[in-house]
Amino acid sequence: MRSHTLFPTLLLLGSLALTAGCSSGVPESSGTASADARPDSTSSAAETVDPSTIKGLNIVNDNSEHKSCPFATSYPDVPGARAMTAAMKKDVQERLASFRSGACTAGAGGAEGRDLNISHQFLVASGDVLGVRLTTQDHEAAGSGLSTRTYWYDGKAGAYRTALGLVADGSRDDFVAALKDRLQGREGVDATALHDAFAGPRERTTVLDDMAFTADGGLRVEFDSGEVGTPAAGSYVVTLSREMITPWLSAFGQRAQRQTVSPGRPLDLGAAHVPVPVVPTHTASGDDDTDCRKVKCIALTFDDGPVVPETANLLTGLARYKARVTFFTVGQNVSAHPDLVRAEAKAGHEIGNHSWNHPDLTRLSPEQVASQLDRTNAAIKAATGELPAVFRPPYGAVNQTVRSATTMSPVLWNVDSEDWRCRDAAKVAQTVIGKVRPNAVVLMHDIHATSVEAVPGILRTLTARGYHFVTVSHLRATL
């Protein structure tokens, strides 16, 4: 077989030059991951939720690949839970604005070690109850920078509930007393901080912002680092048994408890209209026989999906030109939209691994890296029946720890479309067309509508110039 010494070198080049006319300095974000949540912060009940069963679910994603301002955020938008979605959007945008003002301002010098990741997890989605946890890892923040918050929606009342809404008003004093009793005496707990954290209604709502039921109906309460103890002591978790907590629950809390322990009918929050996503049915006609040693080839790659409706629209556009591409999918999005991943594979595209929730893998332990990649592999295999052969580390950040955690081959890029910076379809197309050369690997993102809109122009122009669109693995194999 012909030597591939040149091509792997090209894959490890990351072009991060700025695109004239789009923006300068800090990339603007339309606004609408983190490492794995803390080992003790995920209840067994939360793992049972299958997001693909939530009708009309839309995962709202945003990202930046800028080396001085890398971030990735996601939160769910569920039909009928508009107020809850608005609360999550507000919190995500505020956290992102704070991060960007500190880490990404002009003159920050592109300091290394700064990134923000906000990922989501469904706690319960059954009947008229929806519960979501957002996990934030902010490496710009002091201390660990890790925090969590839960959001609740009461479909029966048509109302967004804070975590404290799980507890009846008249029982909150007893509830708080039980929490304080279990926290007092723990190593690192500060008596003054503990008192101040529960001083009044406002303080209680602030500190009691992560509450969820366990599989057996107990209530698990998590306190972020520094809230009730010294920051160095980290987070604290208190779990109250079902027997203790049940008498203190609000009517909504009782329903949330029941739906967590014994999920009933499918989630129905009374939305007047639930969109039904269109899933393309394009089917590839056999294997790709393009010989990239004889013709000009290009590998378009799309990160961070699948999402609706952008990924479906992209598949339709690619089919018109019989173009094949590589999708580097994020596990939490694969679990929400496995039908789109199946459609990608059926149409002859390559499915790659892009981690579970888009953290910088080089910051994680070997076990955490393996979890990020293995969970995503499992979701891809469940959707397509096949395990991926390639992965793309978020932000292109890869080291020996990351490489050693998987047998998959890492894939970077040598042409950056900068669609994460420039939300203008015409300029994105111009950037790709202007930079491309034979055997190029192009970085794009199917979470951005403007990126999808840019693709037909790219395909049309480059096809006329004699280019063939192939997957990364096909390009590698035929060079």
Q: Report how far residue 9's alpha carbon sits from residue 152's, in angstroms, rounded to the nearest whole number.
A: 48
Return the number of other C-beta atoms located less than 10 Å from residue 464's C-beta. 8
> Helix and strand tally (H, E) in the chain?
15, 17
Q: Report how far residue 221's alpha carbon sits from residue 351's, in angstroms, rounded to the nearest whole number.
A: 38
Catalytic annotation, pick one of 303, 360, 416, 446: 303
Cβ atoms of 162 and 143 within 8 Å: the answer is: no
Q: Report how far residue 148's alpha carbon sits from residue 209's, in angstroms, rounded to the nearest whole number.
A: 8
- Told to judge if 445 belongs to the known catalytic residues of this protein, a careful annotator would answer yes
Catalytic annotation, pick one of 120, 445, 468, 474: 445
Which amino acid is present at 308?
V
- Told to judge if 303 belongs to the known catalytic residues of this protein, a careful annotator would answer yes
Between vectors from CA 151 to CA 146 and to CA 155, what angle results, nearest 5°? 165
Cβ atoms of 56 and 337 within 8 Å: the answer is: no
Q: How far is CA 236 from CA 80, 146, 149, 180, 184, in A?
A: 33, 12, 14, 12, 11
Q: Report how far residue 23's alpha carbon sits from residue 178's, in angstroms, rounded to the nearest whole number.
A: 53
Q: Report how far residue 22's alpha carbon sits from residue 427's, in angstroms, rounded to the nearest whole number.
A: 7
Residue 218: which H helix or E strand, with range?
none
CA atoms within 13 A of residue 29's CA, in its CB half-sphere: 25
CA atoms within 13 A of residue 130's CA, in its CB half-sphere: 30
CA atoms within 13 A of residue 451's CA, in its CB half-sphere: 28
Tokens of 231: 């920051």
Write out the E strands in 403-478: 409-410, 415-416, 440-445, 467-469
CA atoms within 13 A of residue 71's CA, in its CB half-sphere: 32
> What DSSP string runs through 331-385?
HHHHHH-HHHHHHHHHTT-EEEE--SS---GGGS-HHHHHHHHHHHHHHHHHHHS
Contacts of 149 (CB under 8 A, 6+ apart): 91, 133, 134, 136, 163, 209, 210
Tokens of 152: 């609740």
Cα–Cα nearest to 61, from 450, 451, 446: 446
Q: Report how far residue 101's alpha carbon sits from residue 441's, in angstroms, rounded to the nearest whole number.
A: 32
Active-site residues: which are they? 303, 445
